[in-house]
Chains A and B, each alone.
Chain A
Amino acid sequence: MIVIYLLYGLAFFSLGLTASLHMLQGSSLPLRNHLPWLAAFGFACAATGWLDMLLLTDLKPEAATVVQSFRTLLQPVSGLLLLIFGWRILTKVSPLPAWTQLIPGLLLAPLAFVITYAATTFITPSPIEIPIDIWSRYLLYLPGSIMAGIGFLRQWRQQRKRQYYDVARLMLAAGVAFLFEAFVVGLVVPAAPYGPASYYNYDRTVPEAFTADQSAESEPFGLINWLDDDRVLEVTGLPIQFWRMLSAFAVTFFVVQGLGVFDALRKRELAALQAERDRAQLSALTAYNVARETAESWTEVLINIGRRIAELDDVDEILGYTVANGCHLLASDFMGLAIVNADQTDLELKYYADERERAARLVEMPVKVKNRCLLQTLQGAKSFCSADNEPPEHFADLHFFTSPGGEMSPMHALAAVPLSLDNKPIGVLWVSRHENAPYSETDLIWLECLADQAVIAIQHGLMTSQLQSFSIIEERGRIAREMHDGLAQVLGYLNLQVQTLETLHRRGKEEALEAELAQMKDAVRTAHADVRENILSLRTTLANEKGLISAIDEYLNEFGLQTRIQTSFVHTVDEPVDLASLAEVQLVCILQESLTNVRKHANARRVSVKIEQVGRERGESVLMEVRDDGVGFAQSNGSRSFGLQTMHERARAVGGTLTVQSTPGAGTIITCSLPCLQSDNLKRKNPLFSYEYS
């Protein structure tokens, strides 16, 4: 028995120690808040077991009394600790079903009866430790063990649901161990006339029962024994202490194992959560990068469209570029741009891009757009985005050209935005997909941005064509002026001279006649030179598709041949020069005016032209210098020739400057500086720019 009590105490001491260690380590178990109660219960039970062991030794009567008192006090305390632990593990670890709220209310009356019954037994003439022992077991150990058992069984179910089968098995075993403990510790009591352990003989009263204990050994207390210590020994052949030791070992083993595995599992779970969080962070970062790249691509495209508009590029090219890039960036199978025709009767497809061809096409022949949604978008001047469950008829008439295979898979997603100029609908821009993946709100916003740019391009195209008309008119005026000032004057002069020659010829003044003829020859030569220069100027201005440098080079060669003035051309820039188209035109005009002045007034033998790109830090500009070795002229502040004034105006018109340096007898230097476009920002780095406009 001493060994049994020793082992019993050791088992519960291990339980208390393990729970304490888990508690001190800051365990993350769901049971962590209840571990102090388990630890205290373990230590109290261990102390009770060891006190029982001491009582079996040869103690002095005084010491035995003290030990017995301690034990009597400790037993209900340990039972109370188990009751608290059982209650907490049953109710606090996870929420109980609603119907369990009814249990305490319904158990009140039975509990009151048991408590009263227990109270009545204390007035019987039995030693005080017997009712304390018995009622500690019935009222504290029994419900505490049952609740702890059910609590662990609930854990078993929970862990099974979460598929933690190893923990679940241990929780099941711990639950069963606690229920076994409830039986052997809570229900089996020393022989006494209380509760389930004994069944009264009807004829006995309580005082008589205890009297009978002393007289009748065969039937102690005059009772039928039921579940008391003796009955267990009789049935199993082993004392109840052995079974209690067994239950203590079972409880300790499975709870300790469960705590260990549970802790490991929690750590594994935390590691998995950590990994999941890392994955989520990576996904978020990837999504952020993708979003950023997409935004950058869109920004590049939109800026590039704006740049091309500013450069007065061809509208067809700009719109084609817009459609080609929009189709790709919106991951669409088709993108179209349709414009209302001149009669305002039909919507006609003008440009389209097909993802397979990765290029935009200009539609030469009118192709009517009949799709209902697109027409409604135009009429309502409101964007449209197809939903997930869009009716199939909304995607009808979205194929405009038959593919080489003949069969075209239907579209299942559509987004369209109207093109409005001065609040008047002029067309529709749309994208569509074969896949049933509706466009997002963001896609629609990007499409609207493209539509805005397309409208601006169209507006600029219209304005450019108007400007070109004005330029032609202006050029015609200039030519008329030149002819009036030059050729017409010479022809008038020649007419007068011819009349003079006739008069001189009739009068027979041969010498005067020859002198007049020489003057006429000079006048005709001058007029011829003017006409040839005008022709050269016109040709050079209108032939700028060769490139600025080539055109200037060619012009200077022609100029040298015509005027016999030696020309030289030095340049440090490469084609294409980073100037706006208008600036290029003005630069050529300034050069022509300068060279005309050289030819007419400078009497120069050599003229040199230098073009270079300067001023990298403060914004780039193209600098042109025209230097001659002619007679020069004296510069005065107020009187500026009409030609020089025109040159200044031309430079200012494109944001540039012009300076003239001249000294009589030392030639003239004309310097013109025109600003470059912000080329670094507009470099075509994006792979999307590799799209060719065909």
Chain B
Amino acid sequence: MNIREWALPVYTILMQMAVGALLMLWLVRAASLRRHAPAAVDRVLRLPLAAIWITTLTAVTASHWHLSRFYLSPLAVLNWRTSWLSREIIFTVLFFALTTALLWLLWFRDGRTRLKTALGWASVAAGYGVIYSMSRIYLLPSQAFWNTPLTLAGFLLASILLGATAVPVFLVMDLKFTEVACNADVGRAGAATDAAMADIGLRQRIIRHSFGWLAAAALVAAGLAPLLSVRLIEMLSHGDVAAQTSLALLLGLYRPLLILRFVALFSGVGGFLLTAWRVRGTRMPLNLTNSVYLVCLLVLVAEITGRFLFYAVHVRTGL
């Protein structure tokens, strides 16, 4: 794969990560609103949402490297009636616009909780529109490796897995940022404000309450991933020559990467379960930075490797 081809894994992985993270973040928000004041919860979610927005922006930017003449990319939406690519672009733009509006509301407008809630779910829906369109692009009869419902399932699972491991990173990153800023204030003013301490406490409570089910979601998604792979291998083994060739490449040349993918995936999810168990078992503040970053890194490596294999192994049927 060259740089132009790497633009596709970058775009697909980052978009799936952004959509999955927004889904998980909005679930965290819905759970937190039952226990805490909406204004306080929305204040905690500002930085994670900004990270999702940056991820989306990076994905959209990276996708242009796939084009010969990127300035003509807007023309691609004209075929929306017939082309899943056009629909993918439309959903991507919609997702980005809704996320931007949501970010603006969270940062600059207090209150309006219902609007924020609705806008968030609309963004999630648009995001899954992107993922659906994205998977439909690859359902080509000429591509035996891609042309199965497993592609759609794989993309959906990837978004859940990436989202479930990215949200802890964003929450911990935000907590760390707040703690350091608070410490800097203590250094300057001699004491932390009650509001700052309350903010830190709220963040810790949200992390404590959400890590368990986020880890469970990641475990379910990771558990389904090998089942999908087994099913795919089974399908390819009964397929045509192109399918057989793809299978040979997957289990031959690219076998180390396939192994790497699953080792990284289960190491990451295992680490996540361990972290969630540690968080649940104590009320003391924990230094979660290294563990959640490592978990996310391993899952990302696993998914990127999987996506690399997805693009590297396909063999066109016929000429």
Task: Give Cα A119–Cα B172 distance, bound, in whole angstroms.
Answer: 28
The prevalent SS among residues of B at the interface is helix
Compute how far the CA of A544 lies from the CA of B120 in the bound complex, rounded to whole angstroms: 109
Considering the complex, give the chain A residue whose CB is closest to the CB of B294. Answer: A108
Whether the pair A112, B297 counts as a contact (CB closer than 8 A) is yes
Q: Does residue B181 face the partner (Cβ distance < 8 Å to A)?
A: yes
A203 to chain B, nearest CB (A): 9
* Chain A interface residues (CB < 8 Å from chain B): 95-99, 101-102, 104-106, 108-109, 111-113, 115-117, 119-120, 122-123, 199-202, 204, 206
Q: 22 pairs across A/B with beta carbons < 8 Å?
A: A95-B183, A96-B180, A97-B184, A98-B184, A102-B51, A102-B173, A108-B293, A108-B296, A108-B297, A112-B297, A112-B300, A113-B300, A113-B304, A116-B301, A119-B257, A119-B260, A120-B257, A120-B308, A120-B312, A123-B253, A199-B3, A200-B3
Contact pick for A123, options B170, B176, B256, CB 8 Å: B256
- A202 and B2: CB pair below 8 A? yes
The 10 closest A-B pairs by CB, nearest first: A112-B300, A200-B2, A105-B173, A98-B181, A116-B304, A98-B180, A101-B176, A101-B177, A112-B301, A116-B305
CB-CB < 8 A to A104: which residues of B? 173, 289, 293
Partner pick for A105 among B169, B184, B305, CB 8 A cutoff: B169
Bound CA–CA A98/B169 (angstroms): 16
A200 to B4, CA, bound (A): 9
Residue in contact with B170 in the complex, picked from A95, A105, A111, CB distance below 8 Å: A105
- How far apart sit A377 and B169, CA to CA, in the bound complex (Å)? 68
Judge whether B1 is part of the interface by a CB distance below 8 angstroms.
yes
Q: For B41, what are the chain A residues with a Cβ–Cβ distance below 8 Å? A: none
Contact B297 A111 (CB under 8 A): yes
Q: Roughly how many angstroms separate A101 CA and B170 CA in the complex, as a whole number?
A: 11
| A556, B316: Cα distance in complex, Å | 151
Taking A101-B173, A119-B260 as known contacts, 18 extra A-B pairs with beta carbons closer than 8 A to each other, sorted by chain A number, are A96-B180, A97-B184, A98-B184, A101-B176, A101-B180, A102-B51, A104-B173, A104-B289, A105-B170, A105-B172, A105-B173, A105-B293, A108-B296, A108-B300, A119-B305, A120-B257, A120-B308, A199-B3
Pair B58/A109 contact, Cβ less than 8 Å: yes
| A202:B4 contact, CB within 8 angstroms | yes
| Chain B residues with CB below 8 A from A122, complex form | 256
B150 interfacial by beta-carbon distance below 8 Å: no
Q: Is B310 an interface residue (CB 8 A)?
A: no
Residues of A within 8 A of B170 (CB): 105
Contact digits for B6-19, partner A, Cβ 8 Å, 1 yes 0 no: 10011001100100
Q: Closest CB of chain A to B290's CB: distance in Å?
A: 9
Chain A CB within 8 A of B92 CB: no
Do residues A99 and B177 form an inter-chain contact, with CB atoms below 8 A?
A: yes
Residue pair B17, A116 in contact (C-beta under 8 Å):
no
Residues B101-123 near A (CB distance < 8 A): none
- Across-interface contacts of A123 in B (CB, < 8 A): 253-254, 256-257
Contact present for B177 and A120 (CB under 8 Å): no
The CA of A199 and the CA of B65, in the complex, are separated in Å by: 13
Query: What residues of chain A lie closer than 8 Å to B169, measured between beta carbons?
Result: 105, 108
Q: How far is the CA of A96 from the CA of B169 in the complex (A)?
A: 19
